[in-house]
Structure 1
Amino acid sequence: MASENSGYPRRKPDAEEGKIMNWAQNATLADSHAVSAPKTEEELCRLIAASRGKIRVMGNKMSPGRVLKLAAAGDTLLDLRHLRGLIAMDEHSATFAGSTPMHEIYEILSAEGKMLPASPGVIAAQTLAGALATGTHGQGLQQSSIADEALSIRMVLADGTVADFDRDHPFFHAVQLGVGALGIVTQVTLRTRSSLIYTCYKNAVSGDTLEQDIYDWNHNYALSKAWWFPNENQVHVWTAREADSEEIAQYRANNNDLVKQEQTSDAMNETIDQTLEHMRSDTKIVDENGKPFRTVTRFKDFSDVTGDVYQVFCRGIATPQINVEIGIPMSRVGEVIRKIKDWHSETQPHMHYPIILRCTGPSASWLSPAYGVDTCFFGFVVYYAEDGSLSEEGVSFLQAIERVLAAEGGRPHWGKYFDESLYHWPEIYPQWQAFRQVRETLDPQHKFDNAFTAALFD
């Protein structure tokens, strides 16, 4: 099992009383007495204006602990659970309070026959403000991150005043993805459109031609996602297009619930059984139906499906994990895949979960890993063992593969784990200095900093 100095924290399922832990329970964020839960925006403004310490927002605590945790005594961890829900809706947009969980947004929009133009992330427990702050994204070159569907963003600033940023504001593209360092997001107006129904084809294919296939899938289909199993040289791929009239009729007849085709495929079953063997060995979890195992057993006996975008793609199973995700420009993805194949062939690394491939169109957010270019996100997961430790081999794989992708100019996902020493931020983010200037303007005393953000920007 991985040592404490491996760069990834051990999970602590038995948290100390009076301590606030992040969702994965691998970091203490604050003492419970340091948490404030204002009930209104006005109360929040007064709290921030009066504060002399640092301030961070816990959201739904889905991010790594270092992003959320307080720096010292006298700092405040904000719980904004009271500032949630739908505020307004019109034909082409909807305004939500910043702490509204994404799954509530999807439910509200779906009930009105609407959707966001951005494809959803896999897990929808995070808050809207948290999704913007970390660059949450889905899959498909015709869309980008959720932040790119924001029309306006309302924030409480460090002096306790309120400011609204629309798309014409010079700071808007900094505010879209601010890593919690610019202010407290209280409202977001999102672009909406009429809900679409998709048919998603699921296939198992050889990894031999993945370098070209990844382009074809993403250019030929509205939405696409793939799981690459290098050990077995196999890829499980989902490709989705808008459903035709007959498929939509089947969906409506099924009470607008996900339709699974009767014909199933067992093409992934042997590969999944081998993956489960690795996972059980690494995690020592005895429950055959444990959450980590369910994340891959769903690939057995798979079938095509028809449903709305949330029913088809928002299918993640939330289970504590170390998740690394690095964005690579699409123009270089084929070359990077070849390098991973060569590296994998030479080193034969231990893997207990497939490589996840999701591509998006360019983002306008200055700090988005997809800023300015079509981008493919390479995702890697290691699940925690029953005792809260991590597989030594699994961690070694994460560290090695991140070094490979960082050397290729990769940009890490802000809401996941990464080794910041591998990246020279001003080189990979053209607007890095512009973002720092916005931060100095909006929060000159760095009230919204913690050790992590201070090290990044100072």
Structure 2
Amino acid sequence: MGRNWAGNVHYRAARRHRPASVDELRRLVAGAERVRAVGTGHAFNRIGDTTGDLISVAGLPPAVALDRDRSTVTVTAGLRYGDVATRLHADGYALANLASLPHISVAGAVATATHGSGRANGNLATAVAALELVTADGDLLTVDRADPRFAGMVVNLGALGVVSRVTLDVLPTFDLRQYVRLGLPRAALDAALDGAYSASVFTDWRSDRLDQVWLKQRADQPPPPADWLDTVAADAPVHPVPGMPAQNCTVQLGEAGPWHERLPHFRLGFTPSSGDELQSEWHVGRADAGAALAALEPAAARIAAVLQICELRTIAADRLWLSPNYERDSVAFHFTWIGDPVAVAPVLAEVEERLAPFAPRPHWGKLFARDPAASYPRYDDFRALLREVDPAGTFRTDELDRYFPRD
């Protein structure tokens, strides 16, 4: 892999590896001065870049091992969520939530607290019951919820080792129906975000109303009424980005289907987009959703000029140190920008400035400019954990040194 999915980052690694076994992975890590793991390349900044050795764990033998007694599944770290979900559903199980893309790897998504939506749903890292990782000396370390360091090691930014296996909580499989509603009044944002098991609100910042609401609703629940929140029902499948074809999106119009074919926005068998885009995302407190939306309104025209689409989603609070949702129910403001870094940079900075009164926490794998230190209450604790687990800085990168300066 020479570059990330979006093409805005070209990896500088001197060597690239795809080990076929955990033993080979351990030897590679132990013999490297600088090393980083890379997943499916969906990070938009240089958090995964290194001048040393770049390792993909996608070549490790794929395994999806259910433990029905503990209601968990242990999977190879490099597997994609969509592949894990398909296996789980066939065995009668499910994950509580998925991100909009089923194409991302389990370890990569967990390491950056990637998320779906839903008032009661935590980000994907909150489903982690245990991690197995290879540390700088090549040893295997397993941590679970009984380990006092666990809450600091799950959302780890790849800075503590190369994760080889992940154990996730599972629940019985379930069906969902997906409905799309159009033309949401801005004043109804809070009600819309609470409107289903998982809800996403999309806007291109060109209208007084919010363009789309995607409701992913338990199949045994009644459909939204015809006048739901003064919106209208989409009468054909739609894509979140205006003008894009809907064929690669998950099934809509209220047709029931399994959880893993409705929770993502995009189908596993389709490429979601060309990758010609940049992304940023900031999480604010759930109670501040309306005020944060209003704070961005004066910049609407400037945002719209460099935007493909903006999505708002809810995430439940958790106790993971580097989670944007640490001890705070949240709303995420996600921006998919055009693929022009020069044009996007000043608008990104203005969005950050306008969200600053709401203590925004950035998504670690996307583009942001402000120092994140003040946004994360357990920031100093994670810096101490870095010193403990990786004192030589084997897994550090220039980007990590910027986020977490060495003493």
Which TM-score band applies after superposition, normalised by the shorter structure? 0.7 to 0.9
Give the TM-score normalised by the residue count of structure 2: 0.87
Aligned equivalents of 2:178, 2:205: Cα separation in 1: 23
Q: What residue is the counterpart of 1:58 in the other structure?
A: 38
CA shift, 1:335, in A, is 1.2
CA shift, 1:67, in A, is 1.4
SS in 1 for 2:320: coil
1:361 aligned onto 2:313 = no
Q: CA RMSD in A?
A: 2.9
- From 148, 163, 182, give the equivalent of 1:185: 163
Q: What residue is the counterpart of 1:161 in the other structure?
A: 139
1:339 aligned onto 2:301 = no
Change (3 A) 1:208 1:216: closer
Q: What residue is the counterpart of 2:264 in the other structure?
A: 314
1:110 aligned onto 2:58 = no
> AA paired with 2:382?
F
> AA paired with 2:332?
F
SS in 2 for 1:230: coil
Q: What residue is the counterpart of 1:23 in the other structure?
A: 5
C-alpha distance after superposition, 1:217-242 (max 9, x if no partner): 33342211110243222221122331
SS in 2 for 1:199: strand
- From 265, 268, 275, give the equivalent of 2:235: 265
CA shift, 1:126, in A, is 1.8
Q: What residue is the counterpart of 1:417 in the other structure?
A: 367
Change (3 A) 1:142 1:94: same
SS in 2 for 1:324: strand
Aligned equivalents of 1:233, 1:305: Cα separation in 2: 30
Q: What residue is the counterpart of 2:228 in the other structure?
A: none
SS in 2 for 1:379: strand
Aligned equivalents of 1:348, 1:28: Cα separation in 2: 26
Change (3 A) 1:447 1:203: same
Is the 1:86–1:94 contact (alpha carbons within 8 Å) kept by the matching residues of 2?
A: no
CA shift, 1:457, in A, is 1.1
Is the 2:19–2:56 contact (alpha carbons within 8 Å) kept by the matching residues of 1?
A: yes
Give the TM-score normalised by the residue count of structure 1: 0.77
Q: What residue is the counterpart of 1:76 in the other structure?
A: 53
Is the 2:193–2:313 contact (alpha carbons within 8 Å) kept by the matching residues of 1?
A: no
- Whichever structure has more helix as a proportion of its residues is 1
1:152 aligned onto 2:130 = yes
Aligned equivalents of 2:362, 2:90: Cα separation in 1: 34
> AA paired with 1:173?
A
Q: What residue is the counterpart of 2:67 in the other structure?
A: 90
Aligned equivalents of 2:181, 2:234: Cα separation in 1: 10
What are structure 2's unaligned runs of at least 5 residues?
A: 224-232, 267-271
SS in 2 for 1:29: coil
CA shift, 1:395, in A, is 4.9
- From 324, 341, 346, give the equivalent of 2:280: 324
- From 388, 392, 395, give the equivalent of 1:445: 392
Aligned equivalents of 2:395, 2:248: Cα separation in 1: 42
> AA paired with 1:294?
P
CA shift, 1:343, in A, is 4.0
Change (3 A) 1:323 1:296: farther
Alignment of 1:382-421 (within 5 A): 382-384=337-339, 390=340, 394-419=344-369
Q: What residue is the counterpart of 2:375 in the other structure?
A: 428
Alignment of 1:240-255 (within 5 A): 240-244=216-220
Is the 1:350–1:397 contact (alpha carbons within 8 Å) kept by the matching residues of 2?
A: no
Change (3 A) 1:393 1:87: closer
Moved over 6 A (4+): 266-269, 295-299
Q: What residue is the counterpart of 2:79 in the other structure?
A: 100
Aligned equivalents of 2:135, 2:22: Cα separation in 1: 12
SS in 2 for 1:125: coil
Alignment of 1:136-147 (within 5 A): 136-147=114-125
What are structure 1's unaligned runs of at least 5 residues?
A: 1-18, 248-262, 277-292, 385-389
Is the 1:382–1:395 contact (alpha carbons within 8 Å) kept by the matching residues of 2?
A: no
Is the 2:44–2:279 contact (alpha carbons within 8 Å) kept by the matching residues of 1?
A: no
1:219 aligned onto 2:197 = no
SS in 2 for 1:355: strand
CA shift, 1:112, in A, is 1.4
Change (3 A) 1:208 1:44: closer
> AA paired with 1:81?
A
Is the 1:94–1:190 contact (alpha carbons within 8 Å) kept by the matching residues of 2?
A: yes
Q: What residue is the counterpart of 1:174 in the other structure?
A: 152
C-alpha distance after superposition, 1:222-269 (max 9, x if no partner): 21111024322222112233112999xxxxxxxxxxxxxxx8537999
CA shift, 1:296, in A, is 11
- From 11, 15, 40, give the equivalent of 1:34: 15
Aligned equivalents of 2:92, 2:197: Cα separation in 1: 19
- From 198, 203, 206, give the equivalent of 1:228: 203
Aligned equivalents of 2:22, 2:260: Cα separation in 1: 30
Larger Rg: 1
C-alpha distance after superposition, 1:280-331 (max 9, x if no partner): xxxxxxxxxxxxx3379979xx733422232123133143110111111102
Change (3 A) 1:296 1:329: farther
C-alpha distance after superposition, 1:418-456 (max 9, x if no partner): 11xx2341x211111111111111101010011111221
CA shift, 1:138, in A, is 0.3
> AA paired with 1:434?
D
Q: How many residues align?
A: 387
CA shift, 1:192, in A, is 0.5
**Identity between Structure 1 and Structure 2 (%):** 22
Aligned equivalents of 1:417, 1:352: Cα separation in 2: 14
CA shift, 1:361, in A, is 0.5
Aligned equivalents of 1:451, 1:183: Cα separation in 2: 16
CA shift, 1:367, in A, is 0.4
